[in-house]
Amino acid sequence: MNNKNNSEKPGSLSAWLDYIEGLNPTKMELGLSRVKEVISRLSLSSLEKALKIEIAGTNGKGSTAALISSALSFSGICTGLYTSPHLMKFNERIMIDGKPVSDELLCEAFSLVYDNAKDVPLTYFEFTTLAGFVCFDRAGVKVAVLEIGLGGRLDAVNSLDADICVITSIGLDHTHILGDTLEKIATEKAGIIKENSQVVVGRMKNEPLYRISQICKENNASLMVEGVDFYGISGSKFKYVQKGSSIVSSFEYPMPKIPLICAPAALKVIHLLLEKGFKISTTSISKAMNEVSLPGRMQCVHRSPAVYLDVAHNPPAAAHLKDVLDIKPKLGRRSAVIGMLKDKDIESVLKILKSSFDSFYVASLPTERGEKAQRLYNALIADGIDRALVKSYSAVEDALRESLEKTDVKDEIYVIGSFVTVTEAVKALKTIEIG
């Protein structure tokens, strides 16, 4: 985690990426003091003036952030979007007006962070987050949409004060870090709430919602809750409804490409921005609803047979995936290619999904955090799945290749369990010829 001296300063983007990989991407050291110290040394006056939106939550952060930022960009408002992790290329984490930042700007940002960190030992995520801030500052973004990486209170992104705070959902994930109850997790995620900020919350259980409302009161922050202050109705069109002090307003948009559960909170933020005077056109909102989707979120990458990529990796995401599959017409057999990280609640995820598939192809993941296929295999067998329906592989590519060989044109394959799993599948699909 220690920074190198300036004589070893990298130059090219590949050298910079090698350097930050050396900071250990799996190392987590929560806290804001290190990032705030470096921010104080950087000149980020343009970013300080920008409106900042921070998005926390167990699931749905990326899709919510993408819809908000796209509606702004389509309206000609210079917008930065910071998300993590990336699937194929690091630049995906830092977007300006819908496009990944250039290698040149990214190298400049890395260099500035390096120069100003000096004796501050930054983690991988802290270093990359600061680089994102520099990119947005240099681009002069008017709005910065920032996805929280883990939790909220002590996440590096939270070193900037948000004007609008979004908490998409609260579920049990990262319990060894954030706490083992919904109330404890809500407390951590609500740490992004600042004095006099506006807070938008998606649908959630009463226990975490009550804790968030308490923190809002402590910070004199205004709270807007889905199902109470706003909601969405799906049909041939998506109807967004919000309640004011004395009036109920409704708006019709195309059905979203992002998951339906993410759309109401994203639209609430967009309407808050409209109230603040941002000129976001109805056409731009409709275009964002109609076009914006994220790779790896129920993404169909092939048809006949259908191959879907989904990064579902925790029990709430697995439950949502199960609900989607339960109502989705089934024309053939469904197979799952699954790889997961060892620090996830693998047994609970597989227990939720065990009835959703006809066969399972479980694979080991290559990273330090990647779990071996044997654990997934054992969990499925313990849940009563016939051994003949579960096959184990040392790599996602092998699992995907064999699943495709045993699939007819009407069948479906779902690659799930982790960003790493989806990334490995994307690489593999470039070399696999699908009949």
pLDDT tens per residue across span 126-179: 999 999 999 999 999 999 999 998 888 889 999 999 999 999 999 876 667 677
Asked whether residue 119 carries a pLDDT value surpassing 70, the answer given is: yes
Q: How many helices (H) and strands (E) does the chain have?
A: 16, 17
Q: Label residue 275 exposed, middle or buried (CB < 10 Å: 0-12, 13-18, 19+).
A: exposed
The residue type found at 71 is A
Asked whether residue 315 carries a pLDDT value surpassing 60, the answer given is: yes
Domains of the chain by start residue, with CATH: 13-291 (3.40.1190.10), 299-430 (3.90.190.20)
Tell me the per-residue pLDDT of 254-313, one tens digit each, with 9 for 90 and over.
Answer: 999 998 999 999 999 999 999 999 999 999 999 999 999 888 888 999 999 999 999 988
Quote the CA–CA distance of 282 and 285 in Å, as a whole number: 5
- H helix intervals, 354-395: 373-382
Report the pLDDT averaged over residues 397-423.
95
* Number of other residues whose CB lies within 10 A of the CB of residue 27: 10
Instruction: Please give the model's pTM, rounded to 2 decimal places.
Output: 0.87
DSSP code at position 226: B
The residue type found at 253 is Y
Tell me the per-residue pLDDT of 60-116, one tens digit each, with 9 for 90 and over.
Answer: 999 999 999 999 999 999 999 999 988 889 999 999 999 999 999 999 999 999 999
3-state secondary structure at position 62: helix
CB-based contacts of 43: which residues, under 8 Å, 6+ apart? 137
Q: Give the helix/strand (H/E) hosting 126.
A: helix 124-139
The label of the residue with tokens 């060892």 reads 342
Q: What pLDDT was estimated at residue 54?
A: 98
